[in-house]
A and B are shown apart, each in its own frame.
Chain A
Amino acid sequence: GESVGLHLPTLSVQEGDNSIINCAYSNSASDYFIWYKQESGKGPQFIIDIRSNMDKRQGQRVTVLLNKTVKHLSLQIAATQPGDSAVYFCAENSGTSGTYKYIFGTGTRLKVLA
């Protein structure tokens, strides 16, 4: 079946350190992936995306790595700040015959320690 899962439900990091959040996906046909950040009481907020023809993409303080061989996605946050505390979701965009949907994992809670 379709599933996108996360290895670590909670990640605690020291302020200033780098954070790495991992995600495994199951649909090898998925061609587009997104990382979202969700703060308490708010809707998911787009962070960064990557297409299947790439294996790395960098944004501001964030980097997404895609390993299609093992169907693995990771989000790296450099110099983690208190404002980065949130739940992070990876999502795969998959579809057939013109229908598309974003399948989300259960999320990883990132706690930034002062």
Chain B
Amino acid sequence: DSGVTQTPKHLITATGQRVTLRCSPRSGDLSVYWYQQSLDQGLQFLIQYYNGEERAKGNILERFSAQQFPDLHSELNLSSLELGDSALYFCASSVRQGGTEAFFGQGTRLTVV
């Protein structure tokens, strides 16, 4: 158990809908990262937050947004969902912004039908 908690584990929704994925980082970790993993693909970096502030962005679609709350948990919002958004979404946390290992949650499997 990495200490990073993601909910829900599975999510099935229809095209055009909006969903929210939640991540609770390890106790004491200030930095949260979101990644998307499509079938048999690598992990694509979406966005990073540190202590409530957005710090780095990857190839995140405009339909996607995220935030980190004062209690350090983070949410990833996906809207106007398309079939191609079906993927595993991982959250990771680390104590600092870089130079240290990031611990991953078990992921949320999103299926858009």
Contact = CB atoms under 8 A, between A and B. Distances in A.
A100 B42 contact: no
B16 to A, nearest CB: 28
A104 B43 contact: yes
Nearest to A5: B42
A95 to B, nearest CB: 5
A31 interface: yes
A95 B31 CA distance: 14
A100 B95 CA distance: 12
B99 A98 contact: no
A89 interface: yes
A26 to B, nearest CB: 14
Size category of the binding interface on chain A:
20 to 34
Interface string B44-74: 1100100000011010000000000000000
A61 B58 CA distance: 34
Interface string A5-43: 000000000000000000000000001101010000011
A93 B41 CA distance: 19
9 contacts: A32-B98, A43-B4, A93-B99, A99-B55, A100-B56, A100-B97, A102-B33, A103-B45, A104-B44
